[in-house]
Amino acid sequence: MNLLNSLEYRKAFNNYLRRGTPIRLSLKAEDLGHPTTHYVWRTRGDPQVRPSHIENNGKLFAWDNPPETGHPGEDYGCRCVAEPYIRGDSEYANQTLISDINDAPEKWTNARFIRHYYLGGGEDLTLSETGHMAGVIDYFFYKLDVYDRISAQIIAEARKITSGPLTYSFINSYDFGDYVYVFGSSVVSREFSGTVINENGMMFIEGEMSYLYTDTFTDPASVREKITYGTSSVDASSPVWVSISDGGGQYFNVSDTWRTEFRSEVKYNQSDGI
C-alpha cells in the first residue's frame, strides 16, 4: 500500500492543515509488514535511553495505534525494538491512567506554598488545586523509577495465589523534593484489586490500582527534619519545638488520588520469565 495515497493519510493531512493536528497513520499491521498486530516495547536498558522511551519499556502496543513517541526506531537515534507479541508466550505489564486530570492552570511555586502556610488558615489542598497532579504522577512513576517495581510487586503476589481474585495494598514514603522542594518526603499508598487467570503456565492479571498521595506542609525551614528529630512530622515532635519551628504558621495537608488500569501477562514460573 502507498501510504501517501491512502484515505487515512489524506484525512490526517487535512486535519493537519485545518487544526495543526500531528499526522499519525494507523494502518493495519499487515499493511506495514509486521508479523503480529501488537508488540512489546523493549529498550536497551542503558543510560542513553530517553525518558519517554523508558516509560514505554515493557508495555504492550498495537501497530495500528502508536504511542505518542511513535513506534520503536521511529524517533531519531532510537535503538529500542518492537518485540512481536505472541499470546501465551510474550510478557508485558501495562498501567494506564484512567482518572481525569484537572490541574489548576498555574502551578504553585515554593513561595506560594509558604504564603499559604502563613496566611491560608490551615486550609487543606488537593494536588489538582495546586496544579501539580500530573507532575506528581509523572515524577512518582518515572523519575522515582517505581513503575516497574510496582508491576513486579503485583506479579509476585499473583504468583502466590496462581489464580482467582487478588487484592494487595502497600504504602511507602518518597522524596519529592527534587520535583517541588517544599513537598519533601511524602507518602503514597496504593491498592490493587483484580483477578488472576492461569492458563498453560501463563498468568493473565487484570485490575485497578488506586493511589493516594498525602503530605503535611509544616516545618518550612526543615528545622525539625534536619536538626532535631529527623522528620517534620507534627506527631513525632514536641509541642514546644513544633511551635518554635513552625514560626506562627498553620500546617495543612496536601493530598489527592488517582487510578490506573493494570494489565499483565507473565509466565507463572518466574525462572521462565520476568
- Residues 28-81 have pLDDT tens digits of 444 445 777 888 898 887 778 888 888 888 888 988 888 888 888 888 889 988
For residues 111-132, average pLDDT: 93
Encode 3-15: b = buried (16+ Cβ within 10 Å), e = exposed.
Answer: eeeeebbeebeee
Final residue in a domain of this structure, among 53, 86, 119: 86
3-state secondary structure the chain: CCHHHCHHHHHHHHHHHHHCCCCCCCCCCCCCCCCCCEEEEECCCCCCCCHHHHHHCCCEEECCECCCCCCCCCCCCCCCEEEECCCCCCCEEEEEECCCCCCCCCCCCHHHHHHHHHHCCCCCEECCCCCCHHHHHHHHHHHCCCHHHHHHHHHHHHHHHCCEEEEEEEEEEEECCCCCHHHCEEEEEEEEEEEEEEECCEEEEEEEEEEEEEEEECCCCCHHHHHHCCCCCCCCCCHHHHHHHHCCCCCEEEEEEEEEEEEEEEECCHHHCC
Final residue in a domain of this structure, among 32, 60, 86: 86
The residue assigned the cell 513503575 is 147
**In the chain, what percentage of residues exceed pLDDT 90?**
31
Residues 104 and 235 in one domain: yes
pLDDT at 96: 86
The answer to whether the CB of 125 falls within 8 A of the CB of 132 is no
Confidence of residue 164 (pLDDT cuts 50, 70, 90): very high
Tell me the CATH number at 201. Answer: 3.30.450
Residues 140 and 221 in one domain: yes
Higher pLDDT: 5 or 13? It is: 13
Strand partners, 41: 82
23 inside domain:
yes
For residues 87-103, average pLDDT: 85
Number of structural domains the chain divides into: 2
pLDDT surpassing 90 at residue 227: no
Residues 150 and 73 in one domain: no
pLDDT at 29: 44
Residues 25 and 72 in one domain: yes
178 inside domain:
yes
Q: What backbone phi and psi angles, to 5 degrees, belong to 12?
A: -60, -40
91 inside domain:
no
Pick the closest to residue 252 from 102, 105, 108 (CA basis).
Answer: 108
Pick from 123-127, 214-218, 260-264, 269-273 the range whose average pLDDT is largest: 123-127
Pick the closest to residue 168 from 150, 144, 184, 186 (CA basis).
Answer: 150
pLDDT at 15: 57
Q: How many CB atoms lie within 10 A of CB 231?
A: 17
pLDDT surpassing 80 at residue 240: no
Which residue segment(s) compose the domain that 235 sits in? 96-272
Confidence of residue 2 (pLDDT cuts 50, 70, 90): very low
Residues 80 and 157 in one domain: no
Across all residues in the chain, what is the average pLDDT?
81
pLDDT surpassing 80 at residue 225: no
The answer to whether the CB of 58 falls within 8 A of the CB of 95 is no
pTM exceeding the 0.75 threshold for the entire prediction: no
pLDDT at 233: 66
